[in-house]
Structure 1
């Protein structure tokens, strides 16, 4: 890994903020690195408020969306809430349908089948709406590129409202309203909402027109926080406020479905990281292994006993997902080794028997292993489908756009995307994608970067510093857990490899001071030689707590070690 030390803010700014907030230099520096320069900005950061949320009517087409829904409610129209099958989509459908059902009993939900219909709005979904007399569809976390599908729906007398956050193409669909902060003609001040977040803005606008305020909508924020964590959007600006209050709901008064999931994993207080690794995979597993409807059913259920049964089913889906993920990852690694492609600028693998529901996870695993822009293909009907994942700093969406002549359909973000292509174009695409990446990527991006906020000494670490850093949460893109570096560290002599397979490293670090602090390096067992015999080394780490036998002590979570 290459270590990159972030630039230090101007000394005068550090001094001013330190005095304004009455904090030490470390805290002032960390805040400035996050763009927080004043007392007011720090107050907003440490004490998020629902007042920080932007007016939903600043979003292009919001007034038209609200007017069309109000018309549907007045005329007793049937409304179909339609969403993608991943966490962002299913939480958005659960949120929108739950709210609309407080206003009408003519609300239904629809999640496309991942294998039969694929991603986004489908003709089958539109036919379902037509056959069941739905005159309005609200699409969430999808639709921004569904030009032909919206046209098809219009021919059948069905109106569409699209709530999306993916990048639009050159042309957008002719829907009644398209809510997408990434539209070039949308002046909404925050562009990084997730799909569920865009749905929440529409609910907020509807509620405002009805004389409700944000306090009436807090109950839905457990869904929004889950989507924010799962979709890896920046936890800054209003995403921070939404995640902050959503976590409070998750930990104090979650909806029965969330409560049932948490009961299964038996964890008392969840952070956004726990949401990402505990709640989100279970919700996702429904769409990956069975059908996204199972996730929506769980999330809208009001009876806890029923929700608990649904949570058990979803937990089994997640177990099946883990097994498939492990097996396919192993097969993909064998394929790469066999083909001798480890030195290529990209990682592209294909097997027609791989489970379409887990190829995105496998792509992430391969990216971690080889640190290359990665695509994992499988057979999907008469086409090939792929999940794409990128390395930090490289826009895989743009790279796919450069290969669009080989692709049938694609969409996504800078770091994650999906696509389909015809089998006869696979080799042509593979060759072209490798060429595009080779010609456009900065070679240094092919080595994982470890960004370090600040170099400090061990004796600067205490419970007060940790207590303040903990208040920086919720952590995520745009506000990562502070990472520190310390040089000339030594093990006290009792360092050892731990864990069932001895792959982790545990030692007590000391410097040229009296300070001693326990360290744990997960997956760093192969670094044991670097700390043996009290050799000096440098370490990069985060500060954490260790709970053992009723005692709580500080510990360092080591991310990397160098001589």
Structure 2
């Protein structure tokens, strides 16, 4: 594990901010590191408000999208809400479907079958719309590259509104409106919305046109926050505001479907990490193992008892997903070891019977093990399809572009993508991808990194500091929990391994007579010999409260330890 430090904050700016906010210089330094340099910027950071959301009409084509939806509602047209089968897509479809059903019964939802139709807008889905006299399709979290499909829909008398957040190609589909903050000609001031977030901006625009305050849309933000967390987009700017209020809804009055899904999870208060590791995998399991429409049905269900039955089915699918995920991961690791591929700079593995629904999870597991750009292939529909994951600082999408002559199609982000190729091209693609990675990846990008904000003394770690740091939340990409470095530290003799096989490290630390402060290091049980016998050590950690049996105690969450 590499330890790096963020650039030191500007001391004069931090000192001035500390005076104006009347906070500890340590807190002011953390704020400056996050680009917050004035009283007003700090107020916006610590006191998110829905009024901080941008005007949705700043997004290119928003006026056209609103006009088309209004016309469809006025004329009694049939509307199809179409979305991807992952969490971002299914929450977005539930968002728009639930909203439109407040105004019309002539709305249906559609999630493509991962296996029969694949990712994105399908001709089969358009045929479904035509066969059911649907004249408007609102596509969410997909569609930005669906030139042929949108053209086909126009031939069949169907208009499209596309709400996407993926990178566009050279040409845009000829839709009525293409809402995507990543369009080069889009002046929207925040470009990191997820697909559900773009869908929310459409709702905000529809309500704004009617003069309705944005606060009326608050009940929809449980879906938006779940999508933001699941899609690993930066929790900065608008995303931070949407997540902040979405978590409030989840923790106080979530919709019936989420409440049913949460019934089997022991949490007093949900944070972003709980959405990522608890709710998202369950919602994803529907599309991975059977059909994503089950997630939409759950999220739009209003009867809690029916929602409980649907949630139980999804819980069962998630259990099956875990079994399949473990099996394929073990097979892939054996394949890498036995094939002598551990020294490569990329991981590319393929087996024709691997479950298409879990190869993305397996790609993440392999990335954790070998920490290099990773692609996991399986056979689907006569072609090979893959899920790809990257490492910090390496643009996976750009690397795939350099190999695009071998691909049938690809799409995604810097750190996650999907692709399809013809089987005869597999070995040539694998060789080219390794060449591209070898030519462009930096040595430091092949090592997992933990980045500390500041070095501090244990004497600065207080309950007051922990309470202030709690207000930096919600944490996530772009706004991680502050991480500190300190040392030399000493264990009080309390250190021991806890959990199955002693996988985790429990200790109590002191420094220069300060302490002891309790600490926990998840997955750090193997570090126990480094600190026994009164040995001094360095640690990187975050500061938090440990909630246990109604009590709250100051705790360090150790991220790594060195001699």
Give TM-score scaled by structure 2 length. Answer: 0.99
Equivalents in 1 of 2:103, 2:112: separation in Å? 25
RMSD: 0.9
2:458–2:514 Cα contact (<8 Å) kept: no
Q: Report deviation, 1:26.
A: 1.3
Name the counterpart of 1:124. Answer: 124
Distance in 1 (alpha carbons) for counterparts of 2:341 and 2:545 = 41
| Partners of 1:300 and 1:547 in 2: CA distance | 33
SS for the counterpart of 1:205 is helix
Partner of 1:19: 19
1:210: how far off?
A: 2.2
Residue pairs, 1:443-482, within 5 angstroms? 443-482=443-482
Q: Shift of the alpha carbon at 1:268?
A: 2.2
Q: For residue 492 of structure 2, what is the aligned residue in structure 1?
A: 492
Structural mapping, 1:5-44, within 5 Å:
5-44=5-44
CA distance in 2, matches of 1:152, 1:83: 18
> 1:145-190 CA distances to partner (integer Å, 9 max, x unpaired)?
0011111111111110000000001111111100000000000000
TM-superposition CA deviations, 1:413-432 (whole Å, max 9, x none): 00000000000000000000
Cα deviation for residue 60 of structure 1 reads 0.3
The structural deviation recorded for 1:547 is 3.1
1:243 equivalenced with 2:243 (yes/no): yes
Q: Partners in 1 of 2:397 and 2:301 — Cα distance? A: 37
SS in 1 for 2:264: helix
Secondary structure at the residue paired with 1:127?
helix
| 2:258 aligned partner | 258
Show the 5 A alignment for 1:176-187.
Answer: 176-187=176-187
d(CA) in 2 for partners of 1:480, 1:266: 24
Secondary structure at the residue paired with 1:254?
Answer: coil
* Mean CA deviation greater in 35-44 or 550-559: 550-559
Paired residues of 2:490 and 2:510 also in contact (CA < 8 A)? yes
Q: How far 1:381 moved relative to its partner?
A: 1.3
Q: Match for residue 280 of structure 2?
A: 280
Alpha-carbon distance in structure 2 between the residues aligned to 1:554 and 1:295: 38
1:365-514 paired onto structure 2 within 5 Å? 365-514=365-514
Q: How does 1:149-228 map to 2 (within 5 A)?
A: 149-228=149-228
- Quote how far apart the aligned CAs of 1:500 are: 2.1
2:547 counterpart SS class: strand
The answer for the alignment partner of 1:348 in structure 2 is 348
Deviation at 1:102, TM superposition (A): 1.1
- For structure 1, which segment, 75-84 or 544-553, has the greater mean C-alpha deviation from structure 2 after superposition? 544-553
Give the alignment's TM-score, normalised by structure 1: 0.99
Say which is worse superposed, 86-95 or 256-265, in terms of deviation.
Answer: 256-265
The offset of 1:508, in angstroms, is 1.2
Question: How has the CA–CA distance of structure 1 residues 266 and 492 changed in structure 2, closer, same or farther, with 3 Å as cutoff?
Answer: closer
2: distance between equivalents of 1:367 and 1:461? 34
CA distance in 2, matches of 1:285, 1:533: 47
- 1:361 and 2:365 matched: no
Question: Counterpart in 1 of 2:137?
Answer: 137
CA apart distance, 1:555: 1.3
Asked whether the equivalents of residues 498 and 505 of structure 2 are also in contact (C-alpha less than 8 Å), the reply is: yes
Whether contact under 8 Å (1:495, 1:532) holds in the other structure is: yes
| Paired residues of 1:406 and 1:421 also in contact (CA < 8 A) | yes
| CA contact 1:459–1:513 (8 Å) conserved in 2 | no
Partner of 1:327: 327
Give the stretch that moved more between structures: 388-397 or 535-544.
535-544
What's the counterpart of residue 295 of structure 2? 295
Q: Secondary structure at the match of 2:433?
A: helix
- 48-57 or 499-508, which deviates more: 499-508
- Compared with structure 1, are the counterparts of its residues 399 and 489 closer, same or farther at alpha carbon in structure 2 (3 Å cutoff)? same
Alpha-carbon shift at residue 506 of structure 1 (Å): 1.4
Structure 1 residue 552: deviation in Å?
A: 2.1
Is the deviation greater in 511-520 or in 212-221? 511-520
Gaps of 5+ in 2: none
Identify the residue that residue 53 of structure 2 maps to in structure 1.
53
Deviations 1:433-462 (A, max 9, x none): 000000011111001111000111111111
TM-aligned CA deviation for residue 539 of structure 1 = 0.4
Partner Cα distance (1:528, 1:248) in 2: 39
- Distance apart, 1:551 and its partner CA: 3.0
CA drift at 1:498 = 1.8
How far apart, in 1, do the equivalents of 2:253 and 2:54 lie?
25
> Partners of 1:194 and 1:162 in 2: how far apart?
13
- Give 1:549 deviation, angstroms: 4.4
Q: Which moved more, 1:203-212 or 1:129-138?
A: 203-212
1:559 partner SS: strand
Secondary structure of the equivalent of 2:542? strand
Return structure 1 stretches of 4+ with deviation > 4 angstroms. Answer: none
Following superposition, the deviation at residue 5 of structure 1 comes to: 1.1
Offset at residue 327 of structure 1 (A): 1.0
Distance apart, 1:211 and its partner CA: 2.6
SS in 2 for 1:561: strand
2: CA distance between counterparts of 1:136 and 1:549? 53
Question: Is contact 2:77-2:106 (8 Å) kept?
Answer: yes
Tell me, in whole angstroms, the C-alpha distance in 1 between the residues paired with 2:67 and 2:286. Answer: 34
Contiguous gaps of at least 5 residues in structure 1: none
Alpha-carbon distance between aligned partners in 1 of 2:87 and 2:67, rounded to the nearest angstrom: 28
CA distance in 1, matches of 2:113, 2:27: 48
Contact 2:544 2:554 in 1 (8 A): yes
